[in-house]
Copies of this chain bind each other. A is one copy, B any other.
Amino acid sequence: MLKTNAFMEAAFEEARAAGERGEVPIGAVIVHGNEIISRAGNETRALNDVSAHAEVLAIRRAAQVLSDERLIDADLYVTLEPCTMCAAAISFARIRRLYYAARDAKGGAVESGVRFYTQPTCHHAPEVYSGIRETEAADMLRDFFREKRD
């Protein structure tokens, strides 16, 4: 398995674990020096914190590991297109490359919505790679919300 695939698989593991905790099943990992230095799933309910999306938690944890709020040369893998809040946090953290699985037309902010990285008020844009295992990631979210409704 290619390293990139292994990193995305780790993000999927975090997403599944979040779903099992009753959180929206989205997961993220941050890679630095070819190793995973932080991982997180959504924890908005557990923490009563609207900012506790997987990406923001992974960024906060990676910053503790590197003792630097800027994550130079770090890459972020996440199972869903980041929302407007997370897209901006990824920019502020100076993430080098962003890999994500499914597109989020309703709440995303990279190829959807405000397309933050193309905006003049965005002062650092990561390289973006998307569509990796997108069907699987979208299905996981769809199943979660279907079960919640039932």
| Residue ranges of A at the interface with B (Cβ–Cβ < 8 Å) | 44-45, 47-51, 56, 59-60, 63-64, 67-70, 83-89, 92-93, 106-109, 112-114, 116, 119-123
Contacts and interface: CB of A to CB of B under 8 A. Distances in A.
A87 B87 CA distance: 12
Nearest to A56: B51
B109 A121 contact: yes
A122 to B, nearest CB: 8
Given A50-B89, A114-B119, A69 B84 contact: no
Contacts of A44: 69
Contact of A48 (B48, B68, B106): B68
A85 B44 CA distance: 16
Given A84-B85, A114-B116, 13 more contacts: A45-B69, A48-B68, A50-B89, A51-B60, A51-B92, A83-B88, A84-B122, A85-B88, A85-B89, A107-B121, A108-B121, A113-B119, A113-B121
Contacts of A86: 85
